[in-house]
Structure 1
Amino acid sequence: MAAPRISKADFERSLPALRDELLDLQLKLHTSKACAVAVIIAGTPAAGRSETVNELISWLDPKHIGVHALGDPTKEDRRFPALWRYWQKLPARGRITFFFAGWYGEYVGGEIKDKSSKRHDKRSVERILQLEQMLVRDRVRVVKIYLHTDHETQQRRLKELRANKLTSWRVTKEDRWQAKHFDQVNRVVRACLKATDHEIAPWHRVDGTDEEYRLLTVGKILRDEIRAGLQPRQPRRLSWPREKPTKAAALSVVQPARLVDDDEYDQQLETLQGRLARLVRKSRFRKQGLVLAFEGMDAAGKGGAIRRITHALDARQYQVVPVSAPTPEELLYPYLWRFWRHVPPLGSIAIFDRSWYGRVLVERVRDLTPEADWRRAYAEIVEFERQLTEHGLFVAKFWLSVSKGEQLRRFKARDEDPLKRFKVDREDWANRRYYDAYQAAAAEMVRRTDTESARWTIVPADDKKHARLAVLRAVCDTLER
């Protein structure tokens, strides 16, 4: 089949209008912050990826555009989960970012280098599809473009690039290998595109043989995607099945029958902190890492439990991430972006004082998020934690359960202490009115996100000393397991 072409006259007639329209749409996008646009531009060597992106950027305002060609992961990149480096580069709403190959680079490259070419990495496909579905639902337009050309055109262009001293650097050893194995590469690419083509983020295959046709076609795809992103979001009227409350659905929490006395507490605390210190100093831990997430009602003792953990650690080895309401900047990104930013590298520890579970707790209980969004968050959170544990990060999650009466006693004690009065504000008292709703939300949260590799520990917290020891013991058990 002949490659599609466009006449010089048609190109010159269509170009100014398309260029002006794209610039106008970009300015509207920046002003409205209606969505973000992530453009994946992939293709065969010499199909025109760089030329196309360069030309498009020349039409637009470069202040609101990002371009990333991340290449093969570095040694430092490999200390983090595979998708971590792409989360760091995602565009905020109002911006456009071009990714050369993007999260498909390692997947397609790995498949091409697999000489058997008979088996596709199903888990890699699963991660990619889940990521794109989540991004689209969080108002990121994922635009996937694959540029291709025939073998003869590819060989001619590579030869021209290598002959010019100013462009010879652009032809890599990998490009030459792919050109030599043109048919094998095409078979793998077709299978990869088929496996990752879905309605919410389809692939656009564009023939790059004719440069002017290629440029106009890609420009029109980008124009249509931005225009669609600027349309008002249609409210989703979804009906979700309601679960009947049962005894199994409630959190089973039994507060300790007796308080831990001071001597017993001091002895066990020293033992457990020493045990934790030894575990994280083992050479094996450098190839792994630890993520701790703390949730619970206000005044449940999360901060105190965290401090007993950090007292056993080297300050260079961990970070404590306090989580509160998202900032205006954080609201411009997908929900999990602000947590991906703090994922620790191998050999390190991240401790979250409140976490990504806020979406299915406070945002659910206080009607801060549409039901459709917090309902889908369960599956997205499980996938997020799965990616952490697959990479070698241990994940331990704690719900500190304080009774309603004990919470009130702690609130009053803090109010009466000038040094602790700042710990209780009007929002804490407001949340107390929703105590029962939080308990129901927490029960569903645990039920739907407790997995074999990322377990929940329910900690009775009316006795602070008992709770702190229980948390330390669970952390040590997680590392030893």
Structure 2
Amino acid sequence: MIFQSAELGQSLSRDAFDALEPALREELLDLQFALQEARVPLVLLIAGVPGSGRGTTVEKLLHWIDARGAAVHAARTPVEVERERPLFYRYWQRVPGRGRMAIVLGGWVRDALDARATGRLTDADWERRLRRVCEFEQLLHHDGVRFVKTWLHLSETAQRAELLRRVEDPAERWRVSLEDWAGAGRYGLLRDTAAEFIQRTSTPGASWRIVEAADPRHRVVAVATHLRDTMREALGEPPRPRGEPDTPAPSATNVLSRLDLTSRLKRKAYRSALDYWRGRLRLLIHLMEQERHSLVLTFEGSDAAGKGGAIRRLTDAIDPRAYDIHAIAAPTPEEADHPWLWRFWRRLPRRGRVVIFDRSWYGRVLVERVEGFAHRDEWQRAWAEIRSFEEQLDEAGAIVLKFWLQIDPDEQLARFEAREKTGYKRYKLTDEDWRNREKWDAYVAASCDMIERTSWPHAPWVLVESNDKLWARVKVVRSTCAHLADRLGIDPSCLPGYDEEQENTPPLS
């Protein structure tokens, strides 16, 4: 049993504590300032059984470190804006920036254990939750976040004695809740569940340390020592140099080369089709809102492929109060201070809303790969990180659809030259666009790799022939309608206004 070593009656005398405290406090402060200077983020995760002294331990640590450099996050019932997004949305909001410390009391650990102990997680749900916890912590660890994970343990006898002591002390009585007593009543189940959780979420860079918590002085020194050791280790790691550009060559035949870029629509057919499909989209968005889903659309593609124009034709069919558009460029200083997916997690929509990403998290495996902004191990690891991210969107009720807009090099050149000559379009053209043309083949190869590795039923890619803007715009709106109807389980022919001729006229979704 993993808790045997935490039921040995370990304690620390007052004299021994007083002898240790000054040097430990001084070193913790020095290390904290050094971590700030080195811009290393740290998460101190403290969990344990009810009555184990989590709160008082944090109170003591905040006296020993500079509290201005640490944010404390206590477990609580999620508010409405959090319940309407994926489970880990609220934990991503608490991820510290570089040089900062987050002290998390319970957090995702308490949520998982409570849900399992009260029967709200089936065996399959429990397995999924354990996997999500490991994925979350490993992504943060690989992006430079250092973890100090401490489980404060009490034996069943020690727990009951501690809760009774608090109840009898007027100054401590407020710390004991009905939830604490309920947890004490399920001691054996919670202990066994916690043991499994600890064993299965101890991963490289995010392992657990179990601390015997009956004696408060021993408990505080053990947690502070664990924190000190982790900070020392973090400061001993050399900084990583910039990655190397990856310039793969595309296969002669690939998913993009098979597109028929000569596909075109005449203006009259375009207007008729666009009016019809935007009408269908309005109806489907309304049904989506009623079913309490959200819609996440991402747009990627060649420079000047017409992403902005396609997005505008799409949003013309949506109530402006119901959608947000996020144009993704290079990360801001605040975004660069956090793990790479942080800036996308914080932009996720509530249920009933639409969010559109003009460029997206796929930059990790496109521009960051080709230009060397990410190391090889980082962009290769991103395949699994992206899959986990999109699976969590799906699990939370989000409908996800991804568009790739493709043009050929000659069409791109013509559009670049047209932008140079048009005053109100000139801002769209940058020196970077011209540089990217020189790496056309590398971007095609990286794009094909991305499409083949990250298209799955719950978040498919739609490849859009975009040499003709009219064709591309209709295909985008139509494909959105088709995916919405499919995910909502709706037969399009049963909706009012169904037009069989338009339904069978290209571009088909």
Q: TM-score range by the shorter chain?
A: over 0.9
In structure 2, distance between residues paired with 1:245 and 1:323: 26
Describe the SS at the equivalent of 1:287. coil
1:83 match:
88
**Which residue is 1:395 aligned to?**
400
Query: Does the 8 Å CA contact 1:253/1:401 hold for their aligned counterparts?
Result: no
Deviations 1:347-393 (A, max 9, x none): 11110000000111111111111111111111111110110011110
- Post-superposition shift, 1:250? 4.5
SS of residue matched to 2:456: coil
The one-letter code sitting in structure 2 at the alignment partner of 1:354 is R
Q: Report the CA distance shift for 1:66/1:471 in structure 2 as closer, same or farther (over 3 A).
A: same
Q: 1:74 to 1:418 in 2, by over 3 A?
A: closer
Q: 1:16 pairs with 8, 19, 22, which one?
A: 22
Q: How does 1:333-412 map to 2 (within 5 A)?
A: 333-412=338-417
SS of match in other structure, 1:399: strand
CA distance in 2, matches of 1:461, 1:152: 70
User: Where in structure 2 are the equivalents of 1:288-367 lying within 5 Å?
Assistant: 288-367=293-372
CA deviation string 1:426-461 (max 9, x = no partner):
111111111111101000001111112110111111
Deviation at 1:243, TM superposition (A): 9.3
Q: Return closer, same or farther for 1:120/1:464 CA change in 2, 3 Å cut-off.
A: closer
**TM-score of the superposed pair, with normalisation by structure 2:** 0.90
Amino acid paired to 1:406: E
2-side partners of 1:243 and 1:233: how far apart?
29
Q: CA deviation at 1:160?
A: 2.6
1:424 corresponds, among 429, 441, 444, to: 429
Letter in structure 1 aligned against 2:187: F
Change in Cα spacing, 1:118 to 1:385, as seen in structure 2 (3 Å) is closer
Contact kept? 1:397, 1:454, Cα under 8 Å: yes
Conserved? CA contact 1:394–1:479, under 8 Å = yes
Alpha-carbon distance in structure 1 between the residues aligned to 2:15 and 2:450: 61
Q: Secondary structure at the match of 1:290?
A: strand
Alignment gaps of 5+ in structure 2: 1-6, 487-509
> Match for 2:167: what amino acid?
R
TM-score by length of 1: 0.95
SS of residue paired to 1:420:
helix
Is 1:51 the counterpart of 2:51 in the alignment? no
Q: Is the 8 A contact 1:153 1:209 kept in 2?
A: yes
Q: Aligned pairs, how many?
A: 479
2:496 maps to none
Q: Aligned partners of 2:109 and 2:127: how far apart in 1?
A: 13
In the other structure, the counterpart of 1:168 is 173
Map 1:138-177 onto structure 2 (within 5 A): 138-177=143-182
Match of 1:208 in 2: 213
**Alignment counterpart, residue 3 of structure 1, candidates 2, 9, 22:** 9
Q: What amino acid maps onto 2:309 in structure 1? A: G
Q: Which runs of 5+ in 1 are unaligned?
A: none
Opposite residue 60 of structure 2, the aligned amino acid is: E
Instruction: Work out the CA distance in 2 between the residues paired with 1:268 and 1:95.
Output: 53
Could you tell me which amino acid in structure 1 is paired with residue 143 of structure 2?
D
Provide the residue aligned with 1:443 in structure 2: 448
* Alignment of structure 1 residues 99-138 onto 2, 5 Å: 99-114=104-119, 121-138=126-143
- In structure 2, the CA distance between the partners of 1:301 and 1:237, relative to structure 1 (3 Å rule), is closer
Post-superposition CA distance 1:452-477 (Å, at most 9, x none)? 21101111110001000111111111
Residue type of the alignment partner of 1:280: I
Please tell me whether the aligned partners of residues 286 and 348 of structure 1 are also in contact (alpha carbons under 8 angstroms).
no
After superposition, give the CA deviation of every residue in 1:175-220 in whole Å (9 maximum; x if it has no partner): 0011123223212221221222223311110000111111111001
The CA distance in 1 between the partners of 2:171 and 2:291, in whole Å, is 44
Distance change (3 Å), C-alpha of 1:319 and 1:139: same
SS in 2 for 1:454: coil
> Once structures 1 and 2 are overlaid, which stretch shifts more, 329-338 or 71-80?
71-80
